[in-house]
Structure 1
Amino acid sequence: MLSKKVSLEKFLKICEGKNIELDSGKLRLLERYVNTLLEENKKVNLISRKSERDIWEKQILESVAVLKVVNLLKEAKVLDFGTGGGLPGIPLKILEKDWDLTLIDSTKKKIDAVKRIIKKIELKKVKAVWSRGEELSKNKYYKNKFDFVLARGAGKLDYIIKNSIDFLKKDGKIVVWKGGDIREELQSVKGYNKIEVLDLDVEGLVEKKVVLIGIRN
């Protein structure tokens, strides 16, 4: 319990230093999400045991820090591709309450857990769907409907783009969280235009980046 408290205190300090706005209501909701995620993680493998210990610094901070480097619309329609336990989608939705968020994952146990989390913390305009991206993106209710696709820990860039690009509206973008050396991955997707690599310039997130991808020519 102490390690989680220290993790939360460090998270709040970093958010303050980076001007990531957190009012008391958003913080309470983030705390409810974290507590519920940890409860569900006892039943379903949503995050690693190591991630449990520094959940605020790594899981939550890494998710919301993107708001300081990418201009995400306030009333966007957003899809979280391979959401796992609701990351990064749910923490971002808590900060951007006007988003219409869809969370997808190909593992039914994970999506069932995410549905329970959504219900317990009473999030609105959020739905969780059990499906593979390449299948759902062909569905007329999802094809070309989203402003942004988010992907964190969902695979290599070429796989993510191939299986999520059909979700995007004409000017939509894919936002991918990455770490370490990604030069080889970038080479594999050089046929796409408007690729930007942005550092998540936040204490504790060493070599963490986001890759912003536009529609192919």
Structure 2
Amino acid sequence: MDDIQKAFVERLQAHHISINEQQLHQFENYYKALVEWNEKMNLTGITEREQVYTKHFYDSISLAFFVDMMSVGKLADIGSGAGFPGIPLKICFPHIKLTIIDSLNKRITFLKHVVDTLGLDSVELMHGRAEEVARKHGYRDGFDLVTARAVARMAVLNEFCLPFTKVGGQFAAMKGSDPAEEVKEASRSLKEFRGKLNKIHSFSLPVEESDRHIVVIDKTGPTPSKYPRKAGTAAKTPIM
């Protein structure tokens, strides 16, 4: 274990999350795959090893600081890109059944490579638009926890993510800067999609002290059948 890995492990332990040698090995292999594939396709602008461990891995796992991952059976990661936050959470909490949905097939191909290389099971990788997948049986109102990291503004995310969230489950939006204004403008869409604001959690990333916020929404009832609207509509004309 080198200094970067040691700092990573200690920072997680400070939040009562312990990882073993195998899990640490999975994170290192994930990092290597990310850098290797990033030379062929645009996965991330962050490739320096210490920054990947902090800004991608630790940042992804930070969701578990505020949501009890041990009570989560099924997790959906919407617009996951290079697998954040879904894959780091799956490494730390192997019991989770993870579904990743992304609209770019190249990214799904990369994620299949990662899942195979890391030996992860109970991971479903789906190429498609969130608005279309959310209408399929088994996905709609089907997940204990749904998350999206830096994908869109809250009014749009509510329509992307709440249809996947089961009644009694939660949707957690992972944000950088203070989302208070976004949350305020999304109040109508929250009601429309049967969501209720639980809490906005704030913290800072280690070392660089950059702000992070996690908006936790409770799902209070089934999504009305007319939602989500057809692909592209939420982004163009969000409900506000």
Give the letter for the 1:200 counterpart.
F
Structure 1 counterpart of 2:206: 203
Alignment coverage as a number of residue pairs: 213
4+ runs deviating over 6 angstroms: none
| CA displacement, residues 167-212 of structure 1 (integer Å, 9 cap, x when unaligned) | 1111111111111132220112224323310123553452201110
Structure 2 counterpart of 1:142: 139
Give the letter for the 2:77 counterpart.
D
**Which range is displaced more, 201-210 or 34-43?**
201-210
List gaps (5 residues or longer) in structure 1.
none
Q: Quick one: distance in 2 between partners of 1:69 and 1:87?
A: 17
Q: Tell me whether 1:164 sits opposite 2:161 in the alignment.
A: yes
Give the letter for the 1:80 counterpart.
D
| CA displacement, residues 23-60 of structure 1 (integer Å, 9 cap, x when unaligned) | 22211112122211222212221111466661001110
| CA displacement, residues 112-137 of structure 1 (integer Å, 9 cap, x when unaligned) | 11112111222100011111101100
- Asked whether the 8 Å contact 1:147–1:169 carries over to 2, the reply is yes
- Asked whether the 8 Å contact 1:144–1:168 carries over to 2, the reply is yes
Structure 1 counterpart of 2:14: 17
- Asked whether the 8 Å contact 1:86–1:114 carries over to 2, the reply is yes
| CA displacement, residues 70-103 of structure 1 (integer Å, 9 cap, x when unaligned) | 2234451010000001110000001111111011
Give the letter for the 1:213 counterpart.
I
Give the letter for the 2:114 counterpart.
I
**Which range is displaced more, 33-42 or 132-141?**
33-42
Structure 1 counterpart of 2:197: 194
Q: Quick one: distance in 1 between partners of 2:46 and 2:21?
A: 28
- Over the aligned positions, Cα root-mean-square deviation in angstroms equals 2.0
Structure 1 counterpart of 2:150: 153
Change (3 A) 1:31 1:6: same
Query: Where does 1:54-133 land on structure 2 (aligned, <5 Å)?
Result: 54-133=51-130
Give the letter for the 1:194 counterpart.
L
- Asked whether the 8 Å contact 1:65–1:200 carries over to 2, the reply is no
| CA displacement, residues 122-177 of structure 1 (integer Å, 9 cap, x when unaligned) | 21000111111011000113111111111102111111111221111111111111
Larger Rg: 2
Q: Quick one: distance in 1 between partners of 2:37 and 2:164?
A: 29
Report the identity percentage.
26
